[in-house]
Structure 1
Amino acid sequence: MRFRHYATQATRRITRRYAFLRYLSILTTLLTCVWFYALYSSERSTFQSHIQACNWDKWEEWPHHARPHHLVFVADPQLVDPHTYPGRPWPLSSLTETYTDLYMTRNFRLINEKLDPDSVVFLGDLFDGGREWATSRARKLTRSQRDILIKLGVIKEGEEEGQKVARGLDGPEKGAAESSQGKSINKRSLDSYYYAKSHPHSRIITKEEHNIWPRDGKTDLREFVHGEDGRWSSYGDKQWNSEFERFGRIFFAPEQLYPNSDRNLVPAENEATDAVSVENGANYVNWQQYAVGGRHRQVKTSLPGNHDLGFGAGVQMPVRDRFQSHFGDTNSVYVIGNHTFVGIDAPSLSAFDEYVLGDGEMSEERRINFQHLWKPADEFLDDLSSIAPKVVADTLNAYYPGEHEAEGYWHEVSNPKDMTHQPTLGAKAKRKPKLPVILLSHIPLFRNPDVDCGKSREKGRSIPIHRGYQYQNVLTPTLTGRITKKVSEAGDIIHAFSGDDHDYCDITHRFNVGRWNEETNKEQVIMQTAREITVKSFSWAMGVRRPGFQLVSLWNPVDEMGNTVGTPLPTIQSHLCLLPDQLSIFINYAILLGWTLLILLIRAVVIGIRNKPSVDDEEVESEFGRKLSLPRYQSRSSSKESGRANGYVSPNKSQQNETQGRQRASSTSTSTTSINNNNLSVQRSYSSRTRSVSPAVGSAGMNYNFNTSSQVLPNLQDKSRPLIEKAGFYPELRWQDPDDSDEESHVGEDQDSQAKWKKRKRTTSRARRTFNEFVISVAFVAVPCGLFYSFLIKNG
């Protein structure tokens, strides 16, 4: 009981000092706690639980002594920009951009923190409108710069930099050029023969040659052409650079890649710690580590998508050059986890063979016209049989030093075209090493439109074959066969990963590849199978409710030639990891908000109907209601000319008014003409407010006698009388009038006008009281929850 009393008094003191706390209630406090739990669960626990559910040890099935390489595939982040939702107004567009960035930032950091992968590979479509943002042009050369280039033989005297260049007119190109004379100008046809100066065997075309080439009004291949009828012409290279900075903050920042440590990006050192490979025959095994500790995490972002470059004939060379200058070569080969990864620039290579709107198939003439787009990727595939073994040899040489020495040449001046002899320094005539090949393509390989993609797909059963502006759902059968055949020369394709579709698809391809038989010295065709997984989009704004990423575990101990030892096939395991449904989180917030408003509205209506006094009324009561107050009216008896009262008497108890009870008075006076009146008469002069009446002491005791009063005050020392009769003889209480006017100004007024000192508050209507209670209760729930939500958003 004492604690309850103390708590009650403390609460009253606090609410008296902070008046707004009087609006707190159990219901608003409970709703605030519910919102705190919902916010923390949706913004923290949900994301962490989804990532932790994909932990490696929950689905890997390697031997207990295995130390696999952990890889994460991220597909189609497609940073939201003005191109994503062109009809969405502000601020909805800005909120979409902010929340998609926040979603990917939080998930990518948790991936590196909870799963700690060794490598991260992106499967294209890094941006959404990257192909639509104009490129910047280089400034013209000064006279001194031009003289230097002329001396170096880069340009000729009288030649302008940036002029169109092309190959010599020979073969099918010459025929196509001659057939174009006198014909109508075909859009983009001039691009088919123009190459950059950096292209080998290129030369400056003459004026006569320029006149016979089909033209479309463009100056050269380096000029950017706005798509969609110039809809995005107001966006330029500045927009692309800002999106590149956004991409870096999400995926390249040290706090994102290495959230568990504060280490800096310092040069790496080699550490020999892989005991498994040593047991399998390796003489020396090492990997790269940061000098401050921890394994190096590789990040590959060079694979382009159709939203980065365009598709097929829509790819523009300045856009592709800009992408390569920031992310690397669009065609690449590298080794991760003792597997050869081959990345293909599928959007550019599709210019070789694509579904043409209206025509259906790709004509040979059109293929020639756009060979400046598909030729680099095709040449990469042709050279893959020699490029891949070199990359594999460099990797194996780190495990087995001296087994694969680098090829060298004699120090002599020679023409590369005339070189027919083989290298003589450190060359060994033996079979080229090979590792299992993993094919990477942003656009999925061709498959029948009715092939089932598996249960993990959200929309439909398969990937439809569609073609539209700057996109094509799958590669053509011709291009798919061309890619698989050439990539197989670098090694057996055991797996393929793609993106673009935004949804999950898991199928198995069967295709024919050629193998060179050393016994018969002939190429034989064999059937090969490869599994392809189309990875989900990493962003929640790409049409899928459950975004995701792909986990890949690689373990392939090898010998000096790349042959797998010590473990049975397959050497790769994959697992789909789903991310939270951000749209469902927003829907849950909306539902909880609706219930909160409904509950608070019902509470406000109940309080308004109960006629509960408002806080303002309680304030008036607390300030004035507890102070001494007595009703006043003008005395019926005549007073003296001095304005003084006849005297102060105490009420007597008579036989006639015993049934009326005792009457209390404090500093009151009763005249002789109003003794029988049941009301107390109060009449005070100015002097009575400033000083007390001097008593007269008689011989019979301390009786106070007033001049003409027949009433005498009882003796203060007389203890025989009840205490109630002595109430009027205590020291005079100070008169507390709510207004500042003098008491004398009220003398002579009627009773109704003298009641104005009570300061009555205007009664608030029920509707107004209900509205005020609803607004205040909503504010008491919204303010702390909003601050807590802002903290969660700001801190990721």
Structure 2
Amino acid sequence: MRMRFRHHATQATRRITRRYPFLRYLSILTTILTCAWFYALYSSERSTFQSHIQACSWDKWEEWPHHATPHHLVFVADPQIVDPHTYPGRPWPLSSLTETYTDLYMTRNFRLINEKLDPDSVVFLGDLFDGGREWATSRARKLTRSQREILIKLGILKEGEKEGQKVARGLDGSDNGESSKGKSINKRSLDSYRYAKSHPHSRIITKEEHNIWPRDGKTDLREFVHGEDGRWSSYGDKQWNLEFERFGRIFFAPEQLYPNSDRNLVPAWTEPTDSVSVENGANDLKWEQYAVGGRHRLIKTSLPGNHDLGFGAGVQLPVRDRFQSHFGDTNSVYVIGNHTFVSVDGPSLSAFDEYVMGNEEISEERRVNYQHLWKPADEFLDDLSKTAPKVVADALNEYYPGEHETRGYWHEVSDPKDTTHQLALGAKAKKNPKLPVILLSHVPLFRNPDVDCGKDRERGRSIPIHRGYQYQNVLTPTVTNRITKKASEAGDIVHAFSGDDHDYCDITHRFNVGRWNEETNKEQAVMQTTREITVKSFSWAMGVRRPGFQLVSLWNPVDEMGNTVGTPLPTIQSHLCLLPDQLSIFINYVILLGWTLLILLIRAVVVGIRNKPLVDEEDGENDFPRKLSLPRYQPRSSSKDSGRANGYVSPNENQQNETQGRQRASSTSTSTANVNNNNLSVQRSYNSRTRSVSPAAASAGMNYNFNANSHALPNLQDKSRPLIEKAGFYPELRWQDPDDSDEESHVGEEQDSQAKWKKRKRTTSRARRAFNEFIISVAFVAIPCGLFYTFLIKNG
């Protein structure tokens, strides 16, 4: 049974290889290598990414009470979409591949985050683009005469003033570029303008490196100025829009935000109150956020980075306006998970105070010249004491409807010297609801350069204090203190998150912040401890081998005034989630490719040496394969001349008088020029020829009439003749492939092969055979693996 199965398998294999000749090169070794590549590709492009995301599941690190319903948030920092600005020295193929694979990497991970972790909110920490600050903006059309007259009547423009032109104003409101020189400035302004000298370890760059262009009061602020000596002047607003579309495909597309679901981007409106939505923290009692299979995600992308706007004095108004028109206000306050998020435009605010050359203090004149950059962020911080309670009250009204009256500013006139009025305002401020504050800044807050960032940092121990073209590693102490002091007026700063550094850093700050004393109805300074986490870059092309993102779990049950209900616990928990090392994946591919080529090369050499080189079938008459056919015999010309019986051939006779007694049967061994009465060639007809002839059948069927006058084959059934005279008439039987013995497929070939003019073909050398075997085996492995890899890439 076993032999029969093996026989049938062998025959089936032969039939398949005859139909598909290329399958003859298929071997067990190439099959094993192909399977190994399939496993490596699927593991690297699918399993590895899924396992890294699933390892960060919320239930594996959260430590809330069993009845808690926390809000899940994800921080994404520094995606910095790769563009021509990222690697300007790379040639075209490599730069395009880098752009493609970085987009693919972030697309795959962001979709898996939403699919496996299902966060409630996603907040970006700046540097959405890499060269966004370098791409020129489109210029607005100039105002017509009638439009200008209307704006002048409205007081927006002055006579002789062009739209967008900066008019230098002093801190006290004086015009004409006189600033505040020779005028009085209050003590608060002087304190805020004091410049904290840079740390001794800091590196100060030159003016050329900083690339600060002067603002003299007559410069058109709406005119874009190219940086880096006009290196990127050929790129304009079209390039920025293309990158914005790429960013949208990665992070805004519905298939990315809501994979494997039919959820909509806009919540469904329902008349009755949805209890499930309220329990899980819906923004409105009548908004059903769980209508179609899951919660709707809140996406915040308005926090800018230095690669989006520039830094400090390098920020340009048209660049910032373009960013705000697409992503929202760069300074914002909002409530997520019963926490107040304060997002500050640090790059613009740094124009107020930044590290400059020579350890010089920032002059007041310089601050005035750049106040169009830092003033919006500064005013935002000043207004936090008013705007933040409104935002908190609106959020609390969703849980306690009607508890907080939504109203605008107090419309009343009072004497500023009236202390009773000040006490009343203090009492009203005391009743403002507050929630724990989470501070967001793209650039990390100031710290000493030797502060350890923790064990999860890849490069070095701390964030160095450096300054270069359009970047600064940390904010200055002046800007840091200003941000923390103003943000603390919205509530206690329980945590801070930043980006920019691309690597992880976890430190604890101690700040002097203001607190309202209920007993004295005054504000007093209090030392506060705040933890800051610098989130890793989300891209694998930003200098870190292990990119990542930050998971944040928020749970803060509150009363109608925003106070935590029950036992006070930390209201925020955080966890670092690392992503796969894409560079290691590529290195593993290269190693596997090297082993594959080496193994196939060794196999090809062994096959080339072990097997005898094949000889072409058309190598001449002597090398032509024998065919299964009738024998050919030529007796002596006359029996009387030799005195022997007809049909006897002497081996010692001269070849001129007699021919050989045994010859190979050939259907084309004779031609019309050699046919005579003394020679007879027996040739079977193509119509009557069979596949094989057995000796018994042949002897039984060969009964020829012997004519003494013509030398023909003797009668093989004549038993009176001795057996020796019948020798040579039974051809040597040899099995050949039926296709090889199929005479119809070789018509006209044998005669050509015996032609004297045909040149003998060379045999295939062992080296050539090994080379052919290597190329074909590589193709057998590369083609299916390449198709499978293309499928994995195309389908994310």
Q: Which residue of 1 aligns with 2:256?
A: 256
- Between the aligned partners of 2:102 and 2:236, the Cα distance in structure 1 is 23
Code of the residue aligned with 1:332 in structure 2: it is: S
Equivalent residue for 2:111, pick from 109, 113, 124: 109
Q: Say if 2:277 and 2:290, in contact at 8 Å, map to a contact too.
A: no
- Between the aligned partners of 1:702 and 1:42, the Cα distance in structure 2 is 76
Code of the residue aligned with 1:106 in structure 2: it is: R
Matched, 1:740 2:745: no
Pairing 1:581-592 to 2, within 5 Å after superposition: 581-592=581-592
- Between the aligned partners of 1:692 and 1:615, the Cα distance in structure 2 is 28
Question: Offset at 1:770?
Answer: 2.0
- Between the aligned partners of 1:567 and 1:720, the Cα distance in structure 2 is 124
Pairing 1:530-549 to 2, within 5 Å after superposition: 530-549=530-549
Post-superposition CA distance 1:264-290 (Å, at most 9, x none): 334443653359969x9x9x9676516
- Between the aligned partners of 1:369 and 1:497, the Cα distance in structure 2 is 30
Q: Which residue of 1 aligns with 2:121?
A: 119
- Between the aligned partners of 2:745 and 2:759, the Cα distance in structure 1 is 10
Question: Offset at 1:435?
Answer: 0.3
Post-superposition CA distance 1:428-481 (Å, at most 9, x none): 897000000000000111111111110000011111111111111111111111
Q: Which residue of 1 aligns with 2:705?
A: 704
Q: Which residue of 1 aligns with 2:58?
A: 56
Q: Say if 2:168 and 2:175, in contact at 8 Å, map to a contact too.
A: no
- Between the aligned partners of 1:164 and 1:444, the Cα distance in structure 2 is 33
SS in 1 for 2:133: helix
Pairing 1:254-403 to 2, within 5 Å after superposition: 254-269=254-269, 272-273=274-275, 288-289=288-289, 291-403=291-403
Post-superposition CA distance 1:357-385 (Å, at most 9, x none): 22343222222221111111011000001
Question: Offset at 1:714?
Answer: 3.4
Q: Which residue of 2 aligns with 1:438?
A: 438
- Between the aligned partners of 1:619 and 1:220, the Cα distance in structure 2 is 89
Pairing 1:83-94 to 2, within 5 Å after superposition: 83-94=85-96
Question: Offset at 1:8?
Answer: 1.4
Code of the residue aligned with 1:547 in structure 2: it is: P
Q: Which residue of 2 aligns with 1:18?
A: 20
Q: Which residue of 1 aligns with 2:488?
A: 488
Q: Say if 2:540 and 2:546, in contact at 8 Å, map to a contact too.
A: yes
- Between the aligned partners of 1:226 and 1:530, the Cα distance in structure 2 is 39
- Between the aligned partners of 2:725 and 2:382, the Cα distance in structure 1 is 118
- Between the aligned partners of 1:258 and 1:304, the Cα distance in structure 2 is 25
The change in CA–CA distance for 1:783 and 1:351 in structure 2 (over 3 A counts) is same
Post-superposition CA distance 1:155-203 (Å, at most 9, x none): 57x86752524265674866963899xxxxxxxxxxxxxxxxxxxxxxx
The change in CA–CA distance for 1:714 and 1:459 in structure 2 (over 3 A counts) is same
The change in CA–CA distance for 1:260 and 1:676 in structure 2 (over 3 A counts) is closer
Q: Which residue of 2 aligns with 1:765?
A: 765
Equivalent residue for 1:6, pick from 2, 5, 8: 8
The change in CA–CA distance for 1:565 and 1:757 in structure 2 (over 3 A counts) is farther
- Between the aligned partners of 2:299 and 2:647, the Cα distance in structure 1 is 100
Q: Which residue of 2 aligns with 1:666?
A: none
The change in CA–CA distance for 1:233 and 1:691 in structure 2 (over 3 A counts) is closer
Pairing 1:405-420 to 2, within 5 Å after superposition: 405-407=405-407
The change in CA–CA distance for 1:787 and 1:243 in structure 2 (over 3 A counts) is same
Question: Offset at 1:555?
Answer: 0.5
Pairing 1:321-720 to 2, within 5 Å after superposition: 321-407=321-407, 431-614=431-614, 625=625, 627-628=627-628, 673-674=657-658, 704-708=705-709, 713-714=714-715, 716=717
Q: Which residue of 1 aligns with 2:43?
A: 41
Pairing 1:755-794 to 2, within 5 Å after superposition: 761-794=761-794
Equivalent residue for 1:31, pick from 20, 30, 33: 33
Q: Say if 1:737 and 1:757, in contact at 8 Å, map to a contact too.
A: no
Q: Which residue of 2 aligns with 1:67?
A: 69
SS in 2 for 1:250: helix
The change in CA–CA distance for 1:689 and 1:574 in structure 2 (over 3 A counts) is same
Question: Offset at 1:721?
Answer: 8.8
The change in CA–CA distance for 1:510 and 1:617 in structure 2 (over 3 A counts) is farther
SS in 2 for 1:506: strand
Q: Say if 2:515 and 2:523, in contact at 8 Å, map to a contact too.
A: yes
The change in CA–CA distance for 1:98 and 1:707 in structure 2 (over 3 A counts) is same
SS in 1 for 2:73: strand
SS in 2 for 1:263: coil
Q: Which residue of 1 aligns with 2:165?
A: 164
SS in 2 for 1:343: strand
- Between the aligned partners of 1:692 and 1:44, the Cα distance in structure 2 is 66
Q: Say if 1:466 and 1:472, in contact at 8 Å, map to a contact too.
A: yes
- Between the aligned partners of 1:52 and 1:149, the Cα distance in structure 2 is 58
- Between the aligned partners of 1:179 and 1:566, the Cα distance in structure 2 is 53
Greater mean alpha carbon deviation, residues 258-267 or residues 36-45: 258-267
Question: Offset at 1:88?
Answer: 0.8
Q: Say if 1:516 and 1:523, in contact at 8 Å, map to a contact too.
A: yes
Code of the residue aligned with 1:162 in structure 2: it is: E
Code of the residue aligned with 2:748 in structure 1: it is: D
- Between the aligned partners of 2:87 and 2:646, the Cα distance in structure 1 is 89
- Between the aligned partners of 1:235 and 1:615, the Cα distance in structure 2 is 64
The change in CA–CA distance for 1:408 and 1:175 in structure 2 (over 3 A counts) is closer
- Between the aligned partners of 2:619 and 2:14, the Cα distance in structure 1 is 13
Post-superposition CA distance 1:295-315 (Å, at most 9, x none): 110000000000000111111
- Between the aligned partners of 1:780 and 1:724, the Cα distance in structure 2 is 58
Question: Offset at 1:27?
Answer: 1.1
Q: Say if 1:277 and 1:285, in contact at 8 Å, map to a contact too.
A: no
Q: Say if 1:173 and 1:368, in contact at 8 Å, map to a contact too.
A: no
Post-superposition CA distance 1:518-557 (Å, at most 9, x none): 2123322211111100000000000000000000000111
Pairing 1:120-139 to 2, within 5 Å after superposition: 120-139=122-141
SS in 1 for 2:458: coil
The change in CA–CA distance for 1:415 and 1:304 in structure 2 (over 3 A counts) is farther
Unaligned runs of 5+ residues in structure 2 are: 182-213, 639-644, 686-701, 732-740
- Between the aligned partners of 2:600 and 2:619, the Cα distance in structure 1 is 24
Q: Which residue of 2 aligns with 1:749?
A: none
- Between the aligned partners of 1:306 and 1:603, the Cα distance in structure 2 is 56
SS in 1 for 2:30: helix
Code of the residue aligned with 1:705 in structure 2: it is: F
SS in 1 for 2:178: helix
Question: Offset at 1:609?
Answer: 2.0
Q: TM-score, normalised by structure 1?
A: 0.80
Q: Which residue of 1 aligns with 2:245?
A: 245
The change in CA–CA distance for 1:603 and 1:729 in structure 2 (over 3 A counts) is closer
SS in 1 for 2:248: helix
SS in 2 for 1:132: coil
SS in 2 for 1:674: coil
Question: Offset at 1:417?
Answer: 14
Greater mean alpha carbon deviation, residues 713-722 or residues 236-245: 713-722
Post-superposition CA distance 1:65-102 (Å, at most 9, x none): 11110000000000000111111111100100000000
Q: Say if 1:266 and 1:290, in contact at 8 Å, map to a contact too.
A: no
The change in CA–CA distance for 1:624 and 1:355 in structure 2 (over 3 A counts) is same
